[in-house]
């Protein structure tokens, strides 16, 4: 004789969040294995989505290793907390690579000081006391082996005399003014900014490829016209200056030329240490950051190669993880139609009728609304992610909905209190399901089809969840006529006291302190109810 009964089936839950913030996801991140003796100074994302700023030292002996790391930490903090870097610190990873030198310091030829160091640091390049030379080929060789993914590099020279140099790799001493030197030199190395000095320098060609300088022939149209208040005369006389950065115009004297070369503002960090970046230079730096880093750190679900099924019944949630930059925002479209939801997640439930009933794409647009940029010809401040989709009535991963006549069965039990050596003591989810089963099959654990998922342990599923999923699957394979209908979810707790526990519909799951005979009584009463 067959009867239809309702069992309380503990549904397995295995949902892991992939949309955690990048800083949380990478908390405690280590240097790449090939980096050798290395210290992570700031880690905000994977190298293919972030700016990797690498500090290496010259003139630091093995005994000065800790000193180098302290100097690198100070420099990284001084850069990433400054000016246009500060709001974009979420785009940066900073690393320090220790390179041992046989001797401490740097060469000072005019003083007769010569030391043996890893990169041959020396002052007085081309007769300029503050210009420091290093062997760039040796630096690049080390970086190629130990950190090939670097985007910008700084050589810290273990010498307290003021000095530095720019170029593809910034060089700076340990002088008190060194942090401003680092900021200035990274303007060259990373932002491709020109020096705005008027003092002549031999051999510098008369040209203006950088974003912050312009020859007289290139004043109309002006590269930085978006920052110029209408009515400001171009060229702009120095007498009009009201502040170091005001008004933005075209001031003569830049790129080691007194005449015929123009800069945007009266003063700037690219002209004078201790002065902040002007708006034009700050814009160039932000665009440089954005050209390397991605505002999107992760998407869920992953963008598939084939259309993703979205059911009318259940819908689907799409999500995007953004870098920790305060000016980023996300908006959503389905087949080009803007959606009212904004933020990192969209729940799309296709309607039964209308244009979205057969939608083909879900798109998130991530935009940086920074006020530091007024001209973005390359569209660097906007990124899009597109999921191809196909709308169906149901999808393979939807819950199965099958109607069945039911009678109540109040309790079932699960034998055993420890699975894989793990006590059940964490919050779990239960879900009522209707099962059309032979009454003779009602019994313990696997035969009743009870599956329990404990969050924790084996990923988010847990050893108990894994075992009970297998048990439930085995039970259903033996009883193909079983049909189930998901209904309400309840949150319950499991409190450990004994080696067995009882599962009761709509009640807490708890271990029983009673003798085994009480468990047998539970089985008996359950079977009587079924009959």
Per-domain boundaries in the chain: 5-15+400-530, 31-189, 214-291, 294-392
**What does the pLDDT average to over 290-298?**
95
E strand or H helix that includes residue 171: strand 170-173
pLDDT of 126 reads: 84
Burial of 508 (0-12, 13-18, 19+ CB in 10 A): middle
Name the band, by pLDDT with cuts 50, 70 and 90, for residue 520: very low
Tens of pLDDT, residues 327-374: 999 999 999 999 998 899 999 999 999 999 999 999 999 999 999 999
Q: What is the mean pLDDT of residues 162-170?
A: 88
CA–CA distance, 40 with 26 (Å, rounded to integer): 11
CA 185 to chain centre: 27
**Structure confidence at residue 477 (pLDDT):** 55
If one counts every other C-beta atom within 10 angstroms of the C-beta of residue 426, the result is: 15
More confident position, 495 or 172: 172
The pLDDT of residue 117 is: 98
Per-residue confidence band for 456, with pLDDT thresholds at 50, 70 and 90: very low
Taking Cα atoms as reference points, which of 285, 276, 279 lies closest to residue 263?
A: 279
**Could you tell me the two tokens for 445?**
């654990």
Range 10-34 average pLDDT: 47
Q: Pseudo-torsion of CA 228, 231, 236, 238, nearest 10°?
A: -100
The two three-digit tokens of residue 516, written as one number = 């085994």
Domain at 294-392, CATH from 3.30.365.10, 2.60.40.10, 3.10.20.740, 3.30.160.250 = 2.60.40.10
Q: What are the residues facing 242 on neighbouring strands? A: none
pLDDT range class, residue 397, cuts 50, 70, 90: confident
The three-point CA angle 70-96-72 to 5° equals 30
pLDDT of 469 > 70? The answer is: no
- When pLDDT is cut at 50, 70 and 90, the band that residue 511 belongs to is very low
Exposure string for 36-45, b = 16+ CB within 10 A, e = fewer = eebbbbbbbb
pLDDT for 11: 29
For residue 501, CA distances in Å to 89, 412, 417, 494, 514 come to 51, 10, 6, 9, 10
Q: What tens digit of pLDDT does each residue of 248-280 get?
A: 999 999 999 999 999 999 999 999 999 999 999
- 3-state DSSP call for residue 91? helix
Tokens 């246009």 -> residue: 84
End-to-end CA distance of the chain: 10
Decide: 328 and 407 in contact? Cβ < 8 Å: no
Question: Which distant-in-sequence residues (6+ apart) come within 8 Å of 377 by Cβ?
Answer: none
The whole-angstrom separation of Cα 243 and Cα 236 is 14
The β-bridge partners of 6 are 408, 434
Chain centroid, CA 66 distance in Å: 29
Could you tell me which residues are beta bridge partners of residue 55? 96, 154
Reply yes or no on whether the pLDDT at 20 is more than 90.
no
Q: Picking from 57-66, 121-130, 145-154, 493-502, which range would have the lowest pLDDT averaged per residue? A: 493-502
- Looking at CATH, the fold of the domain delimited by 31-189 is given as Collagenase (Catalytic Domain) (3.40.390)
pLDDT, tens digit, for every residue of 172-227?
A: 999 988 889 899 989 998 889 999 999 998 889 999 999 999 999 999 999 999 99
Query: What is the rounded CA–CA span in Å between residue 78 and residue 113?
Result: 30
The Cα–Cα gap between 107 and 113 comes to: 5
DSSP assignments along 269-314, one per residue: TTTSTTSPPPHHHHHHHHHHHHHHS-SEEEEESPPPSSPEEEETTT
Could you tell me the pTM of the whole model?
0.70
Asked, colleague to colleague, whether 31-189 and 294-392 share their fold, the answer is no
Q: Give the mean pLDDT of the chain.
A: 78
- What local confidence, expressed as pLDDT, does residue 28 receive? 57
Q: What phi and psi, each to the nearest 5 degrees, are found at residue 229?
A: -70, 130
- What percent of the chain lies above the pLDDT cut of 90? 62
């Amino acid at each position: 004789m067959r009867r239809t009964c309702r069992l309380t089936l503990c549904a397995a839950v295995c949902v892991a969040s992939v949309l955690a913030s990048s800083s949380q996801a990478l908390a405690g991140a280590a240097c790449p294995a090939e980096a050798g003796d290395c210290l992570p100074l700031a880690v905000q994302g994977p190298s293919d989505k972030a700016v990797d700023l690498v500090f290496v030292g010259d003139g630091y002996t093995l005994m000065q290793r800790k000193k180098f790391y302290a100097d690198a930490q100070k420099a990284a903090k001084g850069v990433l907390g400054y000016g246009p870097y500060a709001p974009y610190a979420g785009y940066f990873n900073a690393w320090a690579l220790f390179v041992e030198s046989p001797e401490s310091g740097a060469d000072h030829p005019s003083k007769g000081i010569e030391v043996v160091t890893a990169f041959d640091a020396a002052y007085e390049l081309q007769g300029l006391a503050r210009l420091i030379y290093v062997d760039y080929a040796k630096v690049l060789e080390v970086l190629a082996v130990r950190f090939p993914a670097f985007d910008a590099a700084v050589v810290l020279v273990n010498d307290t005399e003021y000095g530095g140099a720019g170029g593809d790799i910034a060089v700076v001493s340990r002088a008190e003014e060194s942090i401003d030197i680092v900021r200035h030199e990274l303007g060259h190395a990373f932002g491709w900014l020109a020096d705005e000095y008027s003092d002549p320098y031999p051999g510098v060609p008369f040209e203006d490829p950088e974003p912050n300088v312009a020859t007289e022939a290139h004043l109309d149209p002006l590269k930085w016209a978006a920052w110029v208040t209408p009515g400001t005369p171009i060229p702009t006389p120095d007498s009009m200056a009201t502040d170091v950065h005001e008004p933005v115009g075209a001031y003569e004297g830049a790129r080691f030329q007194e005449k015929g070369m123009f800069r945007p503002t009266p003063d700037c960090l690219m002209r004078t240490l201790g002065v902040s970046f002007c708006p034009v230079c700050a814009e160039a730096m932000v665009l440089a950051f954005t050209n390397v880093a991605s505002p999107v750190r992760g998407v869920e679900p992953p963008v598939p190669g084939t259309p993703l099924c979205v059911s009318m019944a259940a819908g689907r949630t799409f999500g995007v993880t953004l870098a920790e930059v305060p000016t980023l925002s996300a908006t959503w479209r389905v087949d080009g139609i803007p959606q009212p939801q904004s933020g990192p997640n969209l729940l799309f439930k296709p309607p039964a009728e209308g244009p979205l009933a057969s939608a083909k794409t879900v798109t998130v647009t991530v935009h940086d609304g920074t006020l530091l940029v007024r001209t973005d010809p390359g569209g660097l401040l906007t990124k899009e992610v597109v999921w191809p989709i196909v709308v169906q009535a149901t999808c393979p991963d939807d819950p199965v909905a099958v109607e069945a006549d039911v009678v109540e069965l109040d309790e079932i039990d699960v034998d055993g209190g420890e699975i894989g050596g793990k006590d059940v003591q964490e919050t779990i989810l239960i879900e009522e399901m209707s099962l059309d089963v032979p009454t003779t099959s009602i019994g313990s654990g696997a035969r009743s089809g009870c599956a329990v998922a404990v969050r924790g342990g084996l990923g988010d599923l847990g050893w108990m969840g894994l075992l009970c999923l297998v048990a439930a699957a085995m039970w259903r394979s033996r009883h193909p006529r079983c049909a189930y209908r998901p209904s309400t979810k309840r949150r319950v707790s499991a409190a450990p006291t004994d080696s067995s526990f009882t599962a009761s519909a709509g009640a807490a799951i708890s271990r029983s302190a009673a003798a085994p005979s009480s468990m047998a009584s539970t089985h008996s009463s359950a079977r009587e109810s079924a009959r």
